[in-house]
A and B are shown apart, each in its own frame.
Chain A
Amino acid sequence: MTGRADAADSTQADLSAEIGKIRAAYEEAAVEETQPRLDYPPYRSSILRHPTKDLHHADPETIELVAPVFGHQDVDPLEADLTIQHTGDPVGERMVVTGRVLDGDGRPVANQLVEIWQANSAGRYIHKRDQHPAPIDPNFTGVGRCLTGPDGGYRFTTIKPGPYPWKNHHNAWRPAHIHFSLFGTAFTQRMVTQMYFPGDPLFDLDPIYQSITDQRARDRLVATYDHDVTQHEWSTGYSWDIVLTGANATWMEPEEDQ
């Protein structure tokens, strides 16, 4: 663990140097990582919050091999449109974000809950702790839900979120992102992540995005602009598929099959 720097004391240059050092060591080691590091000191809040002991291997038992069930009584189809939750239209770039939720074998995760939340187009969350002096949009809450279809498909209509400042270090800004919460067919596939937009100039500067040390893995969080999803005189479109860890069935395969 590096020394616990006082967040406000670090400049972006300090932070970028720390990020660069970890990246160089990762490339030197040449052992592929696909998930974020729990211990990633440039993300200051992780310093006292990452487990210091190795995660302990466990074979999933009955309850962990299945997932909670959500149905149409849980989620109204209108919850997938974040632009119609108030009396007026929200400000910003209307867009559709769509894709599929798959397991590690590429099988669709059908009828499962997807939840999203995000800042408005000015980079402000409707949350009492968000003190960023950007305008609240009275027509945008930034919370959506849907159930995946039989093909694992999800689709949200929303507003492109803005980047926003945070207190990790001096002049710290998060790249624009949408938070995604996902369930699989097994409890062990539960995950929460963030979807980003292509070409964001803040990627290299952001210790949360960079907590994933591998470039290919980071790329998996970036949506693709998709003109086939874009709608004539209505909204832009982005595609983003999500792959959950493993698959229920593969865990039950006898070892000798491998």
Chain B
Amino acid sequence: MTRSELVATPGQTIGPFFGYALPYAESQHLVPAGRADAVRLTGRVLDGAGDPVPDALLEIWQADPDGQVVQQPGSLRRDGHTFTGWGRAATDNTGRYSFTTLLPGATTEGRAPFIAMTLFARGVTNRLFTRAYLPAPAGLLDADPLLASLEEGRRSTLVARQDGRDLVFDIRLQGEDETVFLRFPGHRH
């Protein structure tokens, strides 16, 4: 089989005006906030000056608590029962986003569970991919191929921190603690 033959269409910035188009009722609530096992994944998106990015859009995609990949429709019109594993949240004026979700299990035995994330924003010319790993014992994180390929200082940008019942995952587009963004095979410059 040959490698990809068609050249991908270029991406472009999401611009400033997606707010009335892409977020929708319950888009950031993968499960109802009142559910006993619901957790909040929250954080701030910051630019190179440390200022909040109030016009970013984040999407998450994750396995269910048993580590099963969900293939269920219904993300756009949530029925309050089906867990679809996908959600979308815009940042507010302070650069903060928030999802209500369930903790994903490991999709592969012995691997550190993570939530896949995509970031879009005005001023960001193409989508950025990252991962928010759940807090886990160092041994589990050390064994993860992606985390193991990063030096200590950078690795920590991919691990969410527990704050009470919340998982906190800040995203820094530039600077000392710049979040690690990912390039997958097939992605070209």
Taking Cβ atoms with an 8 Å cutoff, the residues of A that contact B are 33-38, 40, 43-64, 66-75, 102-106, 113, 115-117, 119, 125-130, 141-143, 145, 179, 181, 187-188, 190-194, 208-209, 211-212, 217-218, 220-221, 242-247, 249-251, 253, 257-258
Contacts and interface: CB of A to CB of B under 8 A. Distances in A.
A117 B7 contact: no
B12 A68 contact: no
Interface residues of B, number: 80
A63 B124 contact: no
Contacts, number: 272
A161 to B, nearest CB: 11
B34 interface: no
Nearest to A79: B76
B71 A192 contact: no
B6 A45 contact: no
25 contacts: A43-B13, A46-B123, A46-B124, A48-B47, A48-B51, A49-B47, A52-B48, A53-B154, A53-B180, A61-B107, A61-B108, A61-B111, A69-B72, A181-B22, A188-B184, A190-B127, A192-B11, A194-B12, A212-B12, A217-B7, A217-B10, A243-B9, A244-B9, A247-B186, A258-B3
B73 interface: yes
B85 to A, nearest CB: 7
A33 B75 CA distance: 35
A250 B4 contact: yes
Given A45-B122, A51-B174, A36 B1 contact: no
B125 A43 contact: yes
B48 A188 contact: no
Interface string B62-99: 11000001011111110000001110000000000000
A141 B51 CA distance: 31
A258 B127 CA distance: 28
Nearest to B15: A179
A121 B85 CA distance: 37
Interface of B: 1-22, 47-49, 51, 53, 59, 61-63, 69, 71-77, 84-86, 104, 107-108, 111, 114, 116, 118, 120-129, 131, 145-146, 149-150, 154, 173-175, 178-189
State the main secondary structure of chain B at its contact with A.
Answer: loop
Contact of A193 (B10, B104, B188): B10
A119 to B, nearest CB: 8
B184 A69 contact: no
A63 B116 contact: yes
Contact of A70 (B12, B73, B185): B73
B187 to A, nearest CB: 5
Contact of A56 (B11, B73, B104, B182): B182
A117 B22 contact: yes
A192 B176 CA distance: 28
A66 B77 CA distance: 21
Contacts of A73: 73-74, 77
Sorted nearest first, the 9 A-B pairs with minimum C-beta distance are: A246-B186, A104-B4, A71-B73, A45-B123, A117-B21, A68-B86, A49-B123, A55-B183, A74-B76
